[in-house]
Chains A and B, each alone.
Chain A
Amino acid sequence: MTSKRTGIESSLAIAEAVKLANTDVIAAYPITPQTHIVEGLAEMVANGELDAEYIPVESEHSAMSACLGSSAVGARTFTATAGQGLILMHEVLLVAASMRLPIVMTVANRALSGPLNVWGDQSDVMSVRDSGWIQIFVENGQQAFDQVICAFYIAEHPDVLLPTMINVDGFHVSHVIESVEMLDRKTVDGFLPPYKHKYALDPDNPVTMGCFAAPNMYTETRKDLDTVLRDSRKVILDVWRKWAELTGRHYRPIEQYKADKAETLLVTVGGYSENAMDAIDKMQKEGKKVGLVRVRLWRPFPIEETVQALSGASNVIVFDRAISLGGPAPICSEIRSALYSVDRKPRIASIVGGLGGRDVSPADFEKIVELGLERIKDGRADETYMYGVRE
């Protein structure tokens, strides 16, 4: 393997990964904080560094629709979006999954209107949770680079053929310049098999894509999609294993940080996890028995690994960077449900924060852990608590 360590903005590292994957078609519409990714790609195409068709569409709805078309003829396809863009795409996302088109997309996670807010938040991806896409979270530029290349492998694998979404926190990850180890084209070519759609739109072998299903057929089509998405787990693990062999960087559906023997586990998702790590380091030095668990694979949801990682603790404090208005916070809801059938259940506190780009520092995470423990002690753990609300 040949690699080179470079200081680069995460968005541009993602563009590099898309280039190294020798992507054929990019269809995208500008939206903050995703723009640097597609600007990077447009520049590569304009300079002849990447031989691809760049379709500057007139909306995110059309971006994903154009992706459906190019993926359906067998071209490797990429797009990126954020916040409202993802919501405008929502209708098309469902079709991408149900038609088994292996489009890869990065989402620079952003808050949802209203009020309008362009900053980081994970409410956008939570709104499309049930769209049938494989959904993966990353925490920094290196992981974004790695996961975009892995995403093509996973999505296009003949046993999967599902669109795959890599979630990157808007600004806090997307716009940060980091030290990233880049691979060269030859290494990526050796890792990533070419995309070949078995049933592509082809006049020599005409297929009909996108029939409607009456009540006598619809349930079966949904069952089929659900099964494929659940089973994609095997391929995801296999691709990550191969990636670890190649690069030495390991990924798991649920990842732990200094979580052994911890009585209290903090659960985070995405870029703020690195702030949480600092908090855990400090608290452990002070003799506190706390550890960190991070959700990497959001769909298909890794129930087994969640139970394994969390069931030994006495207290679990789940930090969601998204709000479900009028209901339980999305990640916490999933975790509670996964732990329900465990005999010795930890007590679970739900904290929501970091909305619309608000910082959550290591010191904040210390407070969040204390607050969670207090609420568990006071018997108020069932309510979702919003951290840092100014009264």
Chain B
Amino acid sequence: METLSIYVPKLVTKGEYIASGHRACSGCGEVLAVRYVCKALGRNSIISMATGCMEIISSPLPESAWEVPWIHTLFENASAVASGIESGIKALKRKHGYTKEVKVVAMGGDGGTADIGLQSLSGALERGHDFLYVCYDNEAYMNTGIQRSSETPFGASTTTAPAGKKSMGQHTWKKNMAAIAAAHNIPYVATSCSSYPFDIMAKVEKAVKVKGPSYIHILSVCPTGWRCRSSQTIKVGRLAVETGIFPVYEIENGQYKLNIDLLHLRPIEDYLKVQGRYRHLTKDSIAEIQVKVVEEYNKVRQLAGLKVIK
């Protein structure tokens, strides 16, 4: 096992498609995820990106961190732009002698995907365009200053759903984007996390190979918005997976597969206590979250044909 872990990273391309020198916060998990996704995509790709952290940190005129063709237009339309790119290339191939095999990829944050961009994403998935959508989910509008989104987890404090004397912060449970994407009957859906580079890369490689739309939802640790130490990014992401609050799985042609199959979940408190956004939670609310986490984790287990755990 040890030799394998030394050997495997050497198989990863040395090519970098998002250049260093971008303006991401220190410890940003999202830009790490972007880096892994781009490594797996390679240079024959066109990226359509929604407005958000990754757009802002990578493209201040007249500079760019992108080594692949990249287009940013607006917040809510990355998928629609991607559908135009894919259709344009199809027409060029048929009519004008275009021969390149190009991977069309749309990317957005949780706001650009699950809130304002949900309609255009759903439209593009339903129409069956051959493209990959990657959601980098850092669980709030971090770019504009940590406002809540529909991906903000229950109990987290944000600037527009702050914890206070009469509020425990976010009072809704996280929207299940992977299930929404899968409900479009697309061939490939997956979740992953910024702390698992090989999982991300393997899934991107798989996603771009399928014909038709694919969707990958990547939990991306945000030390700035989660109020955790920027040196702890990888650890916090691993805790999200090991506590079961963010299950890592694939849905291939409707078939669920739990990639990181845990028989014993770590207590959710391990994950919550290292983040300032949960600092205000009482023992009771932590217990409530713990119940829900196991319940949701078991739902995925059941869908994957696995036995439920306690």
Contacts and interface: CB of A to CB of B under 8 A. Distances in A.
Interface string A92-112: 100100010000000000000
B73 A65 contact: yes
Contacts of A211: 59-64, 72
Given A61-B120, A208-B66, A214 B60 contact: yes
B83 A55 contact: yes
Nearest to A69: B84
B80 A53 contact: no
A204 B67 CA distance: 10
A69 B80 contact: yes
B178 interface: no
A75 B92 contact: yes
Contacts of A207: 69-70
Given A62-B79, A73-B46, 14 more contacts: A53-B88, A65-B80, A68-B73, A69-B71, A70-B88, A71-B84, A71-B88, A72-B81, A201-B70, A203-B69, A210-B71, A210-B73, A211-B61, A214-B61
B87 A92 contact: no
A213 interface: yes
Interface in A41-60: 51-53, 55-59
Interface in B54-111: 55-56, 59-64, 66-74, 76-77, 79-92, 94-96, 100, 102
Given A203-B100, A211-B59, A55 B87 contact: yes
Contact of A203 (B45, B48, B96): B45
Closest 4 CB pairs of A and B: A69-B84, A70-B88, A58-B123, A66-B84
Given A65-B77, A206-B70, A72 B44 contact: no
B41 to A, nearest CB: 10
A132 B183 CA distance: 39
Contacts of A63: 80
A56 B80 CA distance: 11
A314 interface: no
A57 B48 contact: no
B266 interface: no
Contact of B91 (A53, A57, A68): A53
A24 B43 contact: no
A161 interface: no
A209 B70 CA distance: 6
B127 interface: yes
A353 B68 CA distance: 52
Interface of A: 22, 24-25, 27, 51-53, 55-59, 61-63, 65-75, 77, 91-92, 95, 99, 201-214, 217, 221
B71 A72 contact: yes
6 contacts: A25-B87, A52-B91, A55-B83, A67-B84, A70-B85, A75-B92
Contacts of A70: 84-85, 87-88, 91
A212 B66 contact: no
Contacts of B122: 58
Interface in B28-54: 43-46, 48
A206 B67 contact: yes
Contacts of B46: 73, 201, 203
Contacts of B92: 24, 73-75
B100 A204 contact: yes
Contact of A24 (B71, B77, B88, B119): B88
Contact of B88 (A65, A74, A203, A221): A74
A69 B100 contact: no
A68 B82 CA distance: 9
A148 B126 CA distance: 31
Given A74-B88, A212-B55, A56 B70 contact: no
Nearest to A207: B69
Given A58-B123, A61-B120, A201-B71, A73 B88 contact: yes
Contacts of B45: 203
Nearest to A217: B61
Interface in B112-141: 119-120, 122-124, 126-127
Contacts of A24: 88, 91-92, 95-96
Contacts of B70: 201, 206-209
A63 B86 CA distance: 14
A201 B69 contact: yes
A279 B55 CA distance: 57
Nearest to A218: B61
B115 to A, nearest CB: 15
A213 B68 CA distance: 20
Contact of B74 (A53, A92, A209, A213): A92
Given A27-B87, A53-B88, A68 B95 contact: no
Nearest to A73: B88
Contacts of B79: 62
A65 B84 contact: yes
B48 A69 contact: yes
